[in-house]
């Protein structure tokens, strides 16, 4: 289930954002995406 893997995936995304693996033009989109997943019931 999503709730089981979301913390790990969010951490990986955060690490990728910090390392600049994600282009600056889409960093906000990636953050918003993972934030919205955390709000799911």
Give me Rg for the CA atoms of the chain: 11
Which has more confidence, 41 or 8?
8
Helix ranges restricted to H, 1-41 = 2-18, 24-38
- Residue 26 confidence (pLDDT): 92
pLDDT-based confidence at 38, cuts 50/70/90? confident
Q: Structure tokens of 20?
A: 């600049």
Domain spans in the chain, listed from the N-terminal domain onward: 2-38
pLDDT of 40 reads: 58
Q: Which two tokens stand for residue 31?
A: 């953050």
Instruction: Give residue-wise pLDDT tens across range 10-37.
Output: 899 888 888 888 888 999 998 899 888 8
């Amino acid at each position: 289930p999503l709730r089981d893997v979301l913390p790990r995936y969010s951490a990986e995304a955060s690490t990728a954002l910090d390392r600049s693996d994600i282009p600056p033009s889409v960093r906000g989109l990636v953050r918003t995406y993972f934030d919205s997943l955390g709000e799911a019931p």
